């Protein structure tokens, strides 16, 4: 049963990873998430146009999807499934805005973000900040 679940979840993670990476670099995700963070911190007071709102939704969606997948893989890893640590994070109880703030904080310190895939960098950041033990 465990192996079937891992066999089912891992391809979904890879498909999501591949489909999101084709259009979103780590720099694009940083821009969108920075707008999202600023908008939330400003109590939704800042005016936004439809494109910025759409990109903030992408940021939120990527964070939520990645967070859920990494938490699920962490749970499976704890059950002795052989899953790479960089694909897992213990995000139980962690809110989306916390993930956004962590990504903005860490990704803004990375040079040449254009060359990085958004999903891969996000996975590395989350797995280091909230390791699955």
Task: Give pLDDT, residue 20.
Answer: 47
The structure tokens listed for 128 are: 């280091």
Q: The tokens of 46 are what?
A: 């800042």
User: In this predicted model, what pLDDT tens digit does every residue of 11-53 receive, in sequence order?
Assistant: 565 555 555 445 679 999 999 999 999 888 888 887 888 998 8
3-state DSSP call for residue 72?
Answer: helix
Domain enclosing residue 55, as ranges: 2-129
Provide the number of structural domains found in the chain.
Answer: 1
Strand partners, 25: 117
Q: Could you report how far apart the first and last alpha carbons of the chain are, in Å?
A: 22
Tokens encoding 93: 């109880």
The residue among 7, 19, 24, 25 whose CA lies nearest residue 76 is: 7
pTM: 0.78
């Amino acid at each position: 049963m465990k192996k079937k679940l891992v066999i089912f979840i891992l391809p979904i993670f890879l498909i999501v990873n591949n489909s999101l990476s084709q259009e979103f670099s780590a720099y694009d995700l940083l821009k969108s998430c920075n707008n999202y963070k600023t908008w939330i911190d400003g109590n939704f007071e800042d005016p936004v146009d439809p494109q910025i709102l759409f990109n903030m939704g992408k940021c939120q969606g990527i964070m939520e999807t990645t967070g859920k997948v990494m938490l699920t893989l962490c749970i499976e890893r704890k059950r002795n499934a052989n899953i790479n640590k960089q694909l897992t994070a213990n995000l139980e109880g962690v809110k989306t805005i916390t993930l956004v703030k962590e990504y903005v904080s860490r990704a803004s310190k990375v040079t040449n973000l254009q060359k990085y895939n958004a999903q891969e960098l996000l996975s590395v950041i989350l797995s280091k900040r909230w390791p699955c033990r």
